[in-house]
Structure 1
Amino acid sequence: MRIVVADDSVLFREGLVRLLTEVGHTVVAAVGDADQLPAAVAESAPDLVVIDVRMPPTMTDDGAKAAGELRRAHPGLPMLLLSQHVETRHSVALVAEGGFGYLLKDRVLRVDDFLDALTRVAAGGSALDPQVVGALLAPARRDTALSRLTDRERDVLALVAEGHSNAGVATRLHLGERTVETHMRAILQKLDIPETADHHRRVLAAVTYLLLARPAG
């Protein structure tokens, strides 16, 4: 896989480049500034971009903004955001299109989980850190369509929003895969997700979860 890495920390960036290279990927560009990212992507045509949320020039959400600009300039380009802290402002619109992940940086230390997330995102799926999903929850807004779901159905949907397959959800919740399928059918019905291809219905369900659970503001 051809990957562009964007992170202002030289130590973290070089460590990530080494990790990706050692497992067989090719890092075609590594930049430390959000302003350098569009040109690096245009010149190298990567299969995936890994982007730090907080980068120069302002050290706020420049990386997340750059991700949105890249998605508009290169529709379908898979990208994985990394951050020390949860920043959810730009994530919902990106995850709605698939090929998107958002992990906290300590997830990189769990190498197998991180590499699995890379693979899912590059294949057009999603990978959301549980803490990112948790940050989107707002008790004051649970009188929405999500209130129709049982606690177990919410558990299932939260894992789907993180990018897990039915088999992955079953493993994490210690359920049978058919049980997860039954929960998903109930979730799609309760959330009034229209009949489309199964993959797109799952994405719509995940996006609905994120939108309805997202804090206001």
Structure 2
Amino acid sequence: MRVIVADDSMLTREGIVSILERSGFTVAGQAGDGTALLALVRAENPDLVVVDIRMPPTHTDEGLVAAERIRAEHAGIGVLVLSQYVEPAYAMRLVEDHPEQVGYLLKERVFDPAILVDALRRLADGETVIDPTVVSRLLGRRRAKDPLDVLTAREREVLALVAEGMSNKAIAARLVITPRTVEAHVAQVFAKLGLLDDPDSHRRVQAVLAYVRSPLRPADGPGPGGG
């Protein structure tokens, strides 16, 4: 698979590129800002893009804006957005706009080759990947009229792992239960959330969206790092 890497830090870019090349990916190009990234994507049409949220000139959300443009203009390109901080609001914004083939990870995780490669392969397969720290932050918030209240504690636990982009097999290993039991829990989650078996929709992605869209109680506020 062909990948473009965008980060304003040359050392970070080179580190990610090195991991990707050792893992069998082809790096189609590198960019140091959002404008250069968009031009490179249009020229190279890669399979995947890895982009930092904070890039020049303001170092706020230029990378996220570029990711949204890429998903809007090139539906077949998977985008993995990296952040140095836990920012649930950014993760939700990205997933809600274009849920398939998008991921949000803390930057510290991508220097573990197994995590980076796994995330990119999941994106290439059409999955959604959300950093477990962000998932944990969302799970810890109290919610009003939460559509997930119909789920059991175990079903919510399974859904949280689905939101991280984990396969049923990986979830089974994490929870020390059988894959068949995970399949049963996932089926119950789909049924309780009213997610029909529609070949034109991605039910795992829909379940993730139901999870991140659950409303917060007003007293909770946006949470640390949430915007």
Give the drift of 1:199. 6.9
Secondary structure of the structure 1 residue equivalent to 2:202: helix
**Equivalents in 2 of 1:135, 1:35: separation in Å?**
32
**Equivalents in 1 of 2:58, 2:47: separation in Å?**
27
State the identity as a percent: 47
1:193 aligned to which of 192, 195, 199: 195
Deviation readout 1:103-149 (Å, 9 max, x if unpaired): 11111232212211111112221221101212334633153111111
Q: Which moved more, 1:86-95 or 1:156-165?
A: 86-95
Q: Which residue in the other structure is 1:151 paired with?
A: 153
1:115 aligned to which of 114, 117, 122: 117
**Equivalents in 2 of 1:154, 1:142: separation in Å?**
16
Deviation readout 1:155-194 (Å, 9 max, x if unpaired): 1001111111211111111111111111112211221223
Q: Which residue in the other structure is 1:56 paired with?
A: 56
Q: Which residue in the other structure is 1:209 paired with?
A: 211
Query: Which structure exhibits the higher relative contact order, with contacts defined as CA atoms closer than 8 Å and separated by 6 or more residues?
Result: 2
1:1-217 aligned at under 5 Å gives the runs 1-92=1-92, 94-95=94-95, 97-137=99-139, 139-197=141-199, 200-212=202-214
Give the drift of 1:201. 1.7
TM-score, length basis structure 1: 0.91
**Equivalents in 2 of 1:72, 1:88: separation in Å?**
21
Secondary structure of the structure 1 residue equivalent to 2:3: strand
Unaligned runs of 5+ in 1: none
CA contact (8 A) 1:137 1:213 kept: no
Deviation readout 1:15-38 (Å, 9 max, x if unpaired): 111221122221111111112111
Unaligned runs of 5+ in 2: 223-227
Secondary structure of the structure 1 residue equivalent to 2:5: strand
**Equivalents in 1 of 2:111, 2:215: separation in Å?**
28
Number of corresponding residues: 217
Deviation readout 1:66-92 (Å, 9 max, x if unpaired): 100111111131010111112233433
Extract structure 1 runs of 4+ deviating beyond 4 A.
213-217
